[in-house]
Structure 1
Amino acid sequence: MTTSDKLTESESPAVSVAPEGKQLKRVMKSRHLFMITLAGVIGTGLFLGTGQVIGQAGPGGTIVAYIVGGFLLYLTMVCLGELSVVMPVSGSFQAHATRFIGPATGFSIGWIYWLSWAAFIGLEFLSAGIIMKYWFPDTPTWIWSAVFITVLFLINCFTTRSFAETEYLLAGIKVLAVALFIILGGLAVFGVIGADNQPPPLLSNFFDHGGFFPASFGAVFAAMMTVIYTFMGSEVMGVAAGETENPSEAVPRAVKTIVFRLVFLYLGAIVILIALIPWDQVGLDESPFVTVLTNIGIPYSASIMNFVVLIAVLSVGNTGLYMCTRILWSLSQERAAPKSFGRTTKRGVPLVALIVTLAFGLLSLLSNVVASDTLFIFLISVSGVGGALSWMTIALSQYKFRREFIADGGKVSDLPYAAPMFPITPILVILMNIAVFVAMAFDSTQRLSLGLGLGVVPVCYLVYHFVVKRNLDRTVQ
């Protein structure tokens, strides 16, 4: 059977093997897919982490880092877009890897990615509770964390549509906040608003304080790694495509517009920050967004940004619950996870997988207190490396699919959406992520995380071959 025959036979293979009444439901609209993908990238990395990047790389280095990160994001998204159109399943790149690379790789990347996101979910709930202490200092953090845990759990366990609508709202608030910041900051750059009796800064801060490229190449490269990790989360598009109406139309539309809007929002905000704050004066103890809004006289700046960061944290937690649940569901369909993870409610929600994901997230949060020197460091390491490994898997899956598709007599013109510049695109994604790993190996502060994160890979392959595969072989016999 050829690759094209396989795809025709079952456009959504993971769903097709689920028992009657156990399938997920295609209830998301195109607008949900677009905003959910946007929300996956606009998070605390933008609102809190940009100060570190600017202070590390300087004006020119920061802009270069975000341009390179945006380019890698674009290459990854077009690869994922091609796969998500021909095989729109909620397992996304995990199911794609199983089909086009091999079941061992699908098993490994599925569990690594689940670990990488589930470990962060508990931290997001803790962060939300800490943020609320800004307004309610006398209320214990755990109470607010429990409130947000309950709310997001109910949103995710009710229907997929309730998750989509909630994330659509949260994403809209984040995008609006960034857009308003760019507008207000732009007015301040040209002196329309801001402090009286002072000349407008214009572009002076780009070239003063050491010049446009004051930092070393090593500092710029280190900042580039931070930016690339900030962009990770966009792969939620592939997961959401499995529950989106008409993915053959929605996915290409999202791919064609989302990257450029993301880069515009990120670069627009970065340019404003650099123009209004000397790069060597960006503080790490305060969001640079708060600094800018305070300097130009916006009242309640700290409260506004705390609210936006709270929205970003809740959005990440919401998306993390959704993606981890669907990855577990997909693994169960391939008998690479307990069968119970594939059970769904009448509304098509994998409830057992959702509960397990939330429970693990809370346990990972507990490890921050009781095993911070061992288990917690391990989980954070897997989280950092897991995103890059997933992007490499997406690229390799797309490369293998396209080669098989053409070898079976398929024409690129017949694909509903085709990634451009093949095979350069997937090869570049793989090489650029390898470069990130190499750079981490030379960075003494990240070497341990790299070793622990990559160390999970052979363990997963061994578990598959000596446990999962043997069980599958016994079942067949």
Structure 2
Amino acid sequence: MGSGKTISLAGPSIIIVYMIIGFMLFFVMRAMGELLLSNLEYKSFSDFAADLIGPWAGFFTGWTYWFCWVVTGIADVVAITAYAQFWFPELSQWIAPLLCVLLLVLNLVTVKVFGETEFWFAMIKIVAIISLIVIGLVMIVMQFQSPSGTVASLSHLWNNGGLFPKGISGFFAGFQIAVFTFVGIELVGTTAAETKDPEKVLPRAINAIPLRIIMFYVFALMVIMSVTPWNSVVADKSPFVELFVLIGLPAAASIINFVVLTSAASSANSGVFSTSRILFGLAQEGDAPKSFANLSKRAVPANGLIFSCLCLLCGSVLIFLIPNVMMVFTLVTTVSAILFMFVWSIILCSYLVYRKQHPALHQKSIYKMPAGRLMCWICMAFFAFVLVLLALREDTRQALIATPLWFMVLGLSYK
């Protein structure tokens, strides 16, 4: 959803934006990897934040991470609504609340149903992106000509105004939604930490991140902008779908629209799953109402699920208040990106405390973070830089101003 807007804002330089963010977040994941392996009792970042920084850090991180996924879920519901309108332009906005109810039902059944659903959602997404890259490369090699007369060529990456057609301001504007597209990257670490052999699985999972970023972000965007010049990409539509529309293959466009719709549904589904488990963990630590620690007959934290879906339902009202889908999407994704940067910063701060308090553990570590302390400060400086960029644009500034309210609510709740 966001890639259309980022391409229209930054042009081909958006590829560099994704590589920079990916580079920074790889080091955040390396810091998290070393921390999780330093004590196998840690199952998530709120665990080591509470242990190394203090109980307040565990409380703030846990609840903020819960809110991150609720906000991300709202963004996904907005995206699904927009994708459904590709087939049914007159479709009412009531689809959003209906989706929230559907997500609740899916997650209330059993964990197995969630796992099976996610497996197929992920499979559809991965096969589609690889297929898009392969088809795009074939079109570039064959110099495919679209009905509008555009010939597919890698030269589109530098011929239409160069690599930075919108200047440095356009390049900086691409960071907002690009940061949002990386949310959830930390799940790689936390899920791998719960496997049978985390010492092997965790490093392997984190070390594969750069390859995945190049494959699924860089290659996909390069292919899209080689087949469809960046200045032909529509900001409020998925360029994955529009690529097939422009080359005159409406049936393929419908298939890809189905793919991106299932992708957004996958994200919303896993978000709802995550929020219920986060509330369950917080309740066990005494940081949330005890009722959230209760399990249903199917071993599902039903109370947490219902609460999260109610919050999602309230958030989806934004689509009715602000009829412009892209405006809602930008607002919601900005809030999500800011909150996730807070969580990533807590991981880095925990690492700095760990290095100071446990030098012996660091020396024994089998998976040391490269340039540990230095990269922590560089990454946090980068997140501060992104916050400054968000303050410069009107559509992201509103979300930046509103976000501190969440931390004020948390502060009062903690007291």
> TM class, shorter-chain normalised?
0.7 to 0.9
Verify the 8 A CA contact 1:325 1:353 in the aligned structure 2.
yes
Write the letter of the residue equivalent to 1:104: W
Q: 1:324 aligned to 255, 271, 275, which one?
A: 275
Asked if 2 retains the 8 angstrom alpha-carbon contact of 1:128 and 1:145, the reply is no
Worse overlay, 314-323 or 279-288: 279-288
Q: What is the rounded CA distance, in whole Å, between the counterparts of 2:306 and 2:52 in structure 1?
A: 30
SS in 1 for 2:291: helix
* 2:217 matched residue in structure 1: 266
Amino acid at match of 2:2: G
Q: Which stretch of structure 1 is more off in the superposition, 104-113 or 180-189?
A: 104-113
Residues 351 and 91 of structure 1, relative CA distance in 2, 3 Å threshold: farther
Pair 1:393-2:346 in alignment: yes
Cα shift readout 1:38-57 (whole Å, capped 9, x = no counterpart): xxxxxxxxxx2222222221
Structure 1 residue 199 displacement after superposition: 8.9
- Partner Cα separation in structure 1 for residue 85 and residue 152 of structure 2: 35
Selected match of 2:368 from 410, 418, 432: 418
Offset of residue 463 of structure 1 = 3.1
Separation in structure 2 between the aligned mates of residue 285 and residue 130 of structure 1, nearest angstrom? 9
Counterpart pick for 1:118 among 70, 85, 110: 70
Report the counterpart of residue 240 of structure 1 in structure 2.
191
Question: Which structure 2 segments of 5+ residues have no match?
Answer: none
- What per-residue deviation string (whole Å, max 9, x for no partner) do you get for residues 393-438 of structure 1? 11111222233221xx3353x3343322211232222111111112
Tell me which amino acid in the other structure corresponds to 2:185.
S
Q: What stretches of structure 1 of length at least 5 have no aligned partner? A: 1-47, 467-477
2:126 and 2:115 mapped to 1: Cα distance?
Answer: 16
The aligned length equals: 411
Greater Rg by CA: 1
Q: 1:382 and 1:110, CA in 2 relative to 1: closer, same or farther beyond 3 A?
A: farther
How do 1:6-85 residues align onto structure 2 when only pairs under 5 Å count? 48-59=1-12, 61-85=13-37
Q: What letter is aligned with 1:389?
A: F
Hey, what's the Cα distance between the residues in 1 that align with 2:330 and 2:264? 21
Q: Which residue, 339, 344, 353 being the options, matches 2:295?
A: 344
- Quick one: distance in 1 between partners of 2:374 and 2:162? 35
The verdict on how the C-alpha distance between 1:126 and 1:230 changes in structure 2, with shifts beyond 3 A counting, is closer
Which residue pairs with 2:230 in the alignment? 279
Partner secondary structure for residue 245 of structure 1: coil
Distance 1:77 1:339 in 2: 31
1:81-123 CA-partner distances (Å, limit 9, x unpaired):
2233345679622222111111112212222222232134245
Distance 1:161 1:250, change over 3 A: farther
Counterpart among 176, 180, 189 of residue 225 in structure 1: 176
Separation of aligned partners in 1, 2:206 and 2:314:
35
2:153 maps to what in 1? 202
The alpha-carbon deviation at position 350 of structure 1 amounts to 2.3
In structure 2, distance between residues paired with 1:377 and 1:302: 24
Deviation at 1:305, TM superposition (A): 2.1
State the alpha-carbon separation in 2 of the partners of residues 198 and 368 from structure 1. Answer: 37
Once residues 402 and 422 of structure 1 are traced to their aligned partners in structure 2, the CA distance between those partners, rounded to angstroms, is 9
Q: Distance in 1 between matches of 2:297 and 2:35?
A: 28
User: What residue in structure 2 maps to residue 170 of structure 1?
Assistant: 121
* Alpha-carbon distance in 2 for matches of 1:111, 1:376: 22
CA 169–380 in structure 1, closer or farther in 2 if over 3 Å, else same:
closer
Select which of 327, 336, 340 maps to 1:383: 336
Question: Which shows bigger deviation, 342-351 or 282-291?
Answer: 342-351
Q: Displacement, 1:248?
A: 3.0
Match of 1:257 in 2: 208
**2:399 aligned with 1:452, yes or no?**
no
Determine the C-alpha separation between the residues in 2 that align with 1:370 and 1:301. Answer: 33
Structure 1 residues 445, 133: CA separation in 2 closer, same or farther (over 3 Å shift)?
Answer: closer
Once superposed, what is the RMSD of the aligned Cα atoms? 3.2
Conserved 8 A contact 1:118-1:361? yes
Alignment counterpart, residue 294 of structure 1, candidates 225, 234, 245:
245
TM-score (normalised: structure 1): 0.76
Relative to structure 1, the CA distance from residue 155 to residue 420 in structure 2 (aligned partners, 3 Å threshold; closer, same or farther) is: farther
Per-residue deviation at 1:285? 4.3
TM-score when normalising by structure 2: 0.87
- The structural deviation recorded for 1:135 is 4.6
- Between the aligned partners of 1:193 and 1:395, the Cα distance in structure 2 is 47
